Amino acid sequence: MAERSFAREVQDLKLGAGEEFRGEGILAVTKALLQSGVGYVAGYQGAPISHLMDVLADAQGILGDLGVHFESSASEAAAASTLAASVMYPIRGAVTWKSTAGTNVACDALSNLASGGVTGGAVIIIGEDYGEGSSIMQERTHAFAMKSQMWLLDPRPNLETIVSLTEQAFELSEVSHTPVMLEVRIRACHVHGSFIAKDNKKPEFTLAEALENPRRDTGRIVLPPASFLHEQEKIRQRLPAALKFIRERGLNETMPGDIPEIGIIMQGGMYNGVMRALKLLGLADVWGATRVPLHVLNVTYPLVDEDLVAFCATKKAVLVVEEGQPEFIEQALNTILRRADVQARIHGKGALPMAGEYTATVLIDGIRGFIAAAMPALLDEMTPPPDARPLLASETVQALAPVVPPRPPSFCTGCPERPIFSAMTLVQKELGPHHIAADIGCHLFSINPPFNLGTTTMGYGLGASSAAAFQVKAKKRSISVMGDGGFWHNGLLNGVGNAVFNKHDGVVVLVDNHYSAATGGQDILSSRADNATRSTQHPIEDAVKGVGAKWVRRIDRTYDVAKMRDTLHEALTTEEAGPKIIIASSECMLNRQRREKPLFNAAVKRGERMVKPRFGVDEDICTGDHACIRLSGCPSLSVKDSGDPLKEDPVAAIDNSCVGCGNCGEVSEAAVLCPSFYRADIVHNPSLWDRFVSGIRTAVIGWLQRRRDANRLALA
């Protein structure tokens, strides 16, 4: 159950020639694939392209009518391998994943694909997750494209350019027999706009035709001696063909200006940011007219030498806007210009920072610094741009720093993973600290307060294998954590299978929340719900036993903190040899709420009796030590003034975001904290019996309160 349904939006994928398509960039990419006659699409979800996978999943009826095969791949490596269908056959195929993490996983298949080359157009839609909003290591796809001689497109972030580049990526791939990467950054994926649609195309050559008419060409298979010839073919045939296509089609764009002495060369994805900075500096308008000439690299690899030389030949100085490091484009440009004896001075890293996201503020500073060095007389004509830094440095804002507490990323309210780490904290209180290997996924939030657990994270599904070196004779065992998404992606063999084979003695906690929750709640093999187009309900327990695990415990309700604690304690102290596997299973609360809330509200609207549990804190019992918050960390747990002059410390309180999971009470009981938590059932559309019982309770409680008040001592 993905976090967002695109059932309404996918209807726009049916738009035909001449009709206007309006929507997000990620939807525009999907439409462009269908207009290109793609034969198959595969991929693995992950920001910023998760919604592309969700759109394709919701559009399977449309894809089926066109004869397009779609599947959610088990990993990025599986997706990349799918492009093998385009090696021998003239079938257009596209795959997608989050980069650079996904590209690292897919690199084996990609290297072989790039070596042998393709017959049909093969396009890899790369979700470039770089910058302050990223959740992964800060690297670029550019290095991989250069290493394997694959062409890298980085379209300007507007829908017309994105669609055009997607369509032409297939042609570029076919002309040069080379896979093409289409890099879409976070902002490009979510930019809104419009373009004039074309008719969708059915594949000219289908997968069924390929199966019925198999082809074989040993020259495309990566084995000696063909593999030695592939390197020569890349340089002597494929690269010249690609450069000719890029130049003749004008894939890169030049915007003229009235200040010919200087210019800016940029990655296509940087265009909107550069134009915003130029506008704020008074050097461009909101319609895209610029005074400074621009050369926009919608293709960042390979570079077209002739175009760059032509742009720079009349310039005294050129600024290269290349986000991320190292400065591949800047280095290449210096080489190209020196070989052509063009003396334009190149500014890049230095005027702009070597690393980090190029926000509007960064670009304004960089462009202004470039102009100050290259053409200082122009500074008098520039508009002073707005600058928020003095405000941020003001005494008022700085005074808030010690008062406003930091808010590190954390689990959602009611998350079933929270009690797992509460239990782990309790176990470590008794047995001492342990080496805990973390993994990619929601459970990685356990490294933050209040749990402060986890030592390393090495990759998606690599939690167990990252503890492999610690499987030695010692007084303590290692603990590793892995989610169900990571388990099916990479962890079954590399984690559990490896642990079984090498007779590891550590503890592996498999967090089963029924979905690939961290990537948007997509179904996986062990999902419990029925899926009309996928095979689900394959228990993780069966898989780990299938690779030889013997000590396996399954907990079907992670909110039972005491049971989680006792099971962890047993795993860490048992004399039994081999890896200890704990499968901690409860449904992702976000997905559960998405499913149950509409049904609950509809039932209430129909007048049906519905009960919603809520939890609270008895202010008279709460001592105000807040141990419950330190052991749970639930966002619905807060503090408030007790109203009692004898209690100086604020008491715990539960706000209206509570979803009634009961974790706070379970933690308090398991940790033997104060019994201040209570449960109250909110009854919608109560029956006559409910009203009668409520009346009796109100009367009895009222009588007891009046009796207590009558016996209370009055202080003069």
Quickly name the fold that domain 610-685 has.
Alpha-Beta Plaits (3.30.70)
In contact, 196 and 21? CB cutoff 8 Å: yes
Sign of CA dihedral 481, 487, 491, 495: positive
The string of pLDDT tens digits covering residues 296-310 is 999 999 999 999 999
When comparing pLDDT for 402 and 228, which is higher? 228
Instruction: Provide the β-strand partners of residue 639.
Output: 652
Contact (CB, 8 A) for 117 and 233? yes
At residue 541, the pLDDT reads 96
Q: Quickly state the pLDDT bin for 676 (edges 50, 70, 90).
A: confident
So where are the chain's domains? 9-248, 252-386, 418-591, 610-685
- Paired tokens of 400: 């808030």
Query: Strand 253-255 relative to strand 294-297: parallel, antiparallel, unpaired?
Result: antiparallel
Q: Is 343 exposed, middle or buried (0-12, 13-18, 19+ CB in 10 A)?
A: exposed
- To the nearest whole percent, how much of the chain has pLDDT over 70? 99
Q: Percent of the chain having pLDDT more than 90?
A: 71
Confidence label for 107 from pLDDT (cuts 50, 70 and 90): very high
The confidence band for 624, taking pLDDT boundaries of 50, 70 and 90, is confident
Pairing of β 610-617 and β 677-684: antiparallel
Judged on CB neighbours under 10 Å (0-12, 13-18, 19+), 259 is middle
- Residues 194-217 have a mean pLDDT of 96
Torsion of CA 489, 491, 494, 495, to 10 degrees: 170
CB 443 within 8 A of CB 417: yes
Nearest residue to 96 (alpha-carbon basis) of 146, 170, 60, 46: 46
Q: Is the dihedral of CA 406, 411, 413, 414 positive or negative?
A: negative
Q: 716 pLDDT exceeds 70?
A: no
pLDDT of residue 714: 56
Q: What CATH architecture is 9-248?
A: 3-Layer(aba) Sandwich (3.40)
Per-residue model confidence as pLDDT tens digits over 231-277: 999 999 999 999 999 999 999 999 999 999 999 999 999 999 999 99
**Residue 470 DSSP one-character state:** G
Q: In which band, very low, low, confident or very high, does the pLDDT at 1 lie, cut at 50, 70 and 90?
A: low
Pick one of 3.40.50.920, 3.40.50.720, 3.40.50.300, 3.40.50.150 as the CATH number of 252-386: 3.40.50.920
DSSP state of 447: G
For the chain, counts of helices (H) and of strands (E): 27, 24
Handedness of CA 363, 369, 373, 379 (dihedral sign): positive
Instruction: Report pLDDT digits (tens) over 320-350.
Output: 999 999 999 999 999 999 999 999 999 999 9
CA distance 85 to 66: 18
Q: Quick one: pLDDT band at residue 3, thresholds 50, 70, 90?
A: low
Residue 695: per-residue pLDDT:
94
Q: Which of 143, 211, 159, 156 is nearest to 185 (CA)?
A: 156
DSSP E strands in 606-708: the ranges are 610-617, 637-640, 651-654, 677-684
Query: How confident is the model over 369-427, as pLDDT tens digits?
Result: 999 999 999 998 888 888 877 877 777 778 877 777 677 788 999 999 999 999 999 99
Per-residue pLDDT for 126 more than 90?
A: yes
pLDDT value at position 2?
Answer: 61
DSSP state of 491: I
Instruction: Please state whether 432 falls in left (phi above 0), alpha (psi between -120 and 50) or beta.
Output: left
Q: Assess whether pLDDT exceeds 70 at residue 81.
A: yes
The pLDDT confidence band at residue 213, using thresholds 50, 70 and 90, is: very high
Query: For residues 24 and 189, what is the distance between their CA atoms, to the nearest angstrom?
Result: 7
Choice among 399-403, 640-644, 682-686 with the minimum mean pLDDT: 399-403
Any long-range contacts for 532-540 (C-beta under 8 Å, 24+ apart)? 533/57, 533/60, 534/72, 540/484, 540/487, 540/510, 540/512, 540/583, 540/585
Measure Cα distances from 449 to 364, 445, 633, 665 in Å: 37, 8, 8, 20
Rounded Cα–Cα distance for residues 128 and 98 (Å): 7
Residue 525 confidence (pLDDT): 93
Question: What mean pLDDT do residues 448-477 have?
Answer: 92
Is 132 buried (19+), middle (13-18) or exposed (0-12) by CB count in 10 A? exposed
Distance, CA of 229 to CA of 406 (rounded, Å)? 57
Q: Residue 661, Cα to own-chain centre: how many angstroms?
A: 26
CATH 3.40.190.10 fits 418-591, yes or no: no
Q: Are 327 and 354 contacting, i.e. CB atoms less than 8 angstroms apart? A: yes
Fold match between domain 9-248 and domain 252-386? yes
pLDDT grade, residue 713 (50/70/90)? low
